[in-house]
Amino acid sequence: MIVPLVTREDRIIHRVKFAGLRYASDMTHAITASVYRCGLIVAYDHHFGEIGPILPWKTSEDLPFMKG
pLDDT digits (tens, 9 = 90+) for 38-57: 888 888 888 888 777 888 88
> How confident is residue 66, by pLDDT bands cut at 50, 70 and 90?
low
DSSP letter, residue 41: E
Strand ranges in the chain using DSSP code E only, listed in sequence order: 41-42, 57-58
pTM: 0.77
The answer as to whether 61 is a domain residue is: yes
For the cut 80, the answer to whether the pLDDT of residue 1 exceeds it is no
The answer as to whether 30 is a domain residue is: yes
The answer as to whether 38 is a domain residue is: yes
The answer as to whether 17 is a domain residue is: yes
Instruction: Name the residue range of residue 23's domain.
Output: 8-66
What is the C-alpha to C-alpha distance for residues 67 and 16, in angstroms, rounded to an integer?
34
The answer as to whether 49 is a domain residue is: yes
The answer as to whether 1 is a domain residue is: no
| Domains contained in the chain, number | 1
